[in-house]
């Protein structure tokens, strides 16, 4: 029955993991963070990732067909993947049974990271975090 | 021939200003000097401010409550059964930062601190302990949140006023979460009312309302006649004076006006 930090520490065991955070995309607050922070500033990284997540979550074009047109617990987007020359960022939206707007942000070194594995594991962790 | 002195007097010395850069380096921006002092002395107890309370343990914040923010119970309301520890921690931290945002709002009265135990174990913490939040982090976050709201829409009126939709025609489409807020705008409810109904943090609802205000979809309701400030008292002349000369003058004025 993991709490936030246990969940983030588990994410850090993924190969190539450099940093992990649980971020609220409405406020931009990091509710938890472990490891390094992209850009070196945890609060700035959380606010910037939140802005990206919010844009993805709020655009109609990215919503699944027959998806969450009305308010519900399902986030409209499952995950976001961003790559650059040396790293991957995976943003996994967390589904909760109460109203929330949070996502897991995993930062992976590109050379060691396994994107497919990270996506699967993050999905599992997101489920365990809130459903026990 | 007169000469005009052109030398201007030396400008007065500049007033001292708070060094905000240095304050930020210290990790706080002067949100509450009293709270900063309590953190430094690792105090335990309850700080009561105008808009809410902060519970401190060893100088860190472990709980916050504000009449302006829905409590943990409201945030968890739609949840059936026992929430998982992660979900509970998430909600508790969210509620703490939410209540602290309003508690740390600028106030007109000084805060009071009651030394002693923070929240009891039979209190809200019985639901699940929250990781203590350092005061500096809470103050930084509070300032960041103020800035976030200001950048979205600089007018704070919608934060507390009853909200209304001035023009329902031609409203731009908005995402589902914001549509849920918009659907509850009825000229009576405030942002806080809507937050409670949706089981959302108050700050999050302020964000959505400011975005709606920026889009021109929502505005604060103008005061209704019943709530409008009472009209200024009638001049004495009209009501109480019965001096016959004045009565005559008034009749004369009325007659002239009637011409």
User: For the packed helices B135-152 and A42-58, what is the interaxial angle rounded to 10 degrees?
Assistant: 40
- What's residue B59's pLDDT? 95
Report if residue B236 sits inside a domain: no
What is the share, in percent, of chain B residues with pLDDT greater than 90? 52
B74 with B128, same domain? yes
B165 with B215, same domain? yes
B144 with B185, same domain? no
Report if residue B246 sits inside a domain: no
pLDDT digit string (tens) for A34-84?
999 999 999 999 999 999 999 999 988 888 776 544 545 578 899 999 999
Q: Inspect the interface and report whether the beta carbons of A129 and B87 lie closer than 8 Å.
A: yes
Q: Where are the alpha helices (DSSP H) in chain B?
A: 20-25, 33-40, 72-76, 85-103, 135-152, 176-182, 191-198, 202-214, 236-239, 244-258
Residue B124 tokens read as: 């809200």
Select from B119, B150, B181 the last residue of a domain.
B150
pLDDT digit string (tens) for A88-104?
999 999 988 888 899 99
The phi, psi pair for B258, rounded to 5°, reads: -80, -15
Report if residue B17 sits inside a domain: no
CATH tag, A4-131: 3.30.450.30
Domain boundaries, position B85: 26-150
Report if residue B31 sits inside a domain: yes
Tally the domains of chain B: 2
B91 with B138, same domain? yes
B110 with B158, same domain? no
pLDDT digit string (tens) for B153-200?
999 999 999 999 987 776 778 888 899 999 999 999 999 999 999 999
Reference B35, options B17, B63, B18, B60; nearest CA is B60
The phi, psi pair for B203, rounded to 5°, reads: -60, -40
| Partner residue facing B90 (CB), from A71, A102, A131 | A102
**Cβ neighbours of residue B211 closer than 8 Å, sequence gap 6 or more:** B152, B153, B174, B178
Which residue of A2, A6, A26 is the best one to mutate when testing the B interface, meaning the one whose CB has the most B CBs within 10 A?
A: A26
**Cβ neighbours of residue B161 closer than 8 Å, sequence gap 6 or more:** B190, B220, B221
Chain B residues with CB under 8 Å of A96 CB are 87, 90
Report if residue B229 sits inside a domain: no
Q: Inspect the interface and report whether the beta carbons of A98 and B207 lie closer than 8 Å.
A: no
Q: Is residue A66 left, alpha or beta, with left meaning phi > 0 and alpha meaning psi from -120 to 50? A: left
Report if residue B118 sits inside a domain: yes
B81 with B101, same domain? yes
B178 with B64, same domain? no
How many H helices and E strands in chain B?
10, 7
Reference B52, options B60, B63, B44, B43; nearest CA is B63
Report if residue B232 sits inside a domain: no
B70 with B91, same domain? yes
Distance (Å) from the alpha carbon of B206 to chain A's nearest alpha carbon: 10
Nearest chain B residue to A44, by CA: B144
> Where do the structural domains in chain A lie, given as residue ranges?
4-131
B63 with B78, same domain? yes
Q: Would you tell me how many other CB atoms lie within 10 Å of the CB of residue A95?
A: 18
| Partner residue facing B207 (CB), from A2, A26, A69 | A26
ipTM: 0.91
**C-alpha of B47 from chain center:** 18
B204 with B113, same domain? no
């Amino acid at each position: 029955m993991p709490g936030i930090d246990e969940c983030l520490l588990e994410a850090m065991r993924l190969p190539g993991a450099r940093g992990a955070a649980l971020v609220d995309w409405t406020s931009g607050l990091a509710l938890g963070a472990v490891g390094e922070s992209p850009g070196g500033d945890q609060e700035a990284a959380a606010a910037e990732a939140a802005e990206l997540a919010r844009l993805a979550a709020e655009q109609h074009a990215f919503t699944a067909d027959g998806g969450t047109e009305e308010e519900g617990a399902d986030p409209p987007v499952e995950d976001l993947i961003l790559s650059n020359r040396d790293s991957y960022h995976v943003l996994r939206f967390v589904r909760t049974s109460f109203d929330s707007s949070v996502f897991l942000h995993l930062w992976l070194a590109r050379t060691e990271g396994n994107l497919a594995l990270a996506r699967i594991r993050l999905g599992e962790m997101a489920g365990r975090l809130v459903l026990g | 021939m007169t000469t005009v002195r052109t030398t201007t007097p030396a400008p007065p010395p500049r007033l001292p200003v708070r060094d905000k850069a240095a304050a930020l380096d210290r990790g706080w921006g002067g949100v509450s000097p009293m709270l900063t002092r309590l953190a430094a002395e690792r105090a335990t107890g309850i700080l009561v401010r105008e808009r809410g309370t902060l519970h401190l343990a060893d100088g860190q914040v472990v709980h916050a409550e504000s009449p302006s923010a829905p409590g943990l119970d409201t945030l968890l309301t739609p949840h059936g059964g026992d929430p998982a520890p992660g979900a509970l921690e998430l909600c508790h931290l969210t509620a703490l930062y939410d209540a602290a945002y309003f508690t740390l709002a600028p106030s007109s009265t000084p805060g009071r601190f009651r030394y002693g135990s923070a929240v009891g174990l039979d209190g809200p913490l019985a639901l699940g302990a929250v990781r203590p939040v350092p005061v500096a982090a809470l103050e930084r976050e509070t300032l960041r949140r103020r800035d976030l709201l200001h950048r979205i829409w600089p007018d704070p009126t919608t934060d507390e006023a009853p909200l209304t939709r001035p023009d329902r025609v031609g409203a731009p489409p908005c995402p589902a979460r914001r549509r849920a807020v918009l659907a509850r705008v009825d000229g009576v409810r405030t942002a806080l009312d809507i937050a409670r109904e949706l089981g959302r943090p108050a700050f999050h609802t302020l964000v959505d309302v400011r975005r709606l205000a920026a889009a021109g979809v929502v505005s604060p309701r103008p005061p209704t006649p019943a709530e409008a400030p009472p009209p200024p008292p009638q001049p004495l002349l009209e009501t109480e004076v019965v001096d016959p000369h004045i009565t005559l003058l008034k009749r004369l004025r009325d007659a002239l006006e009637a011409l």
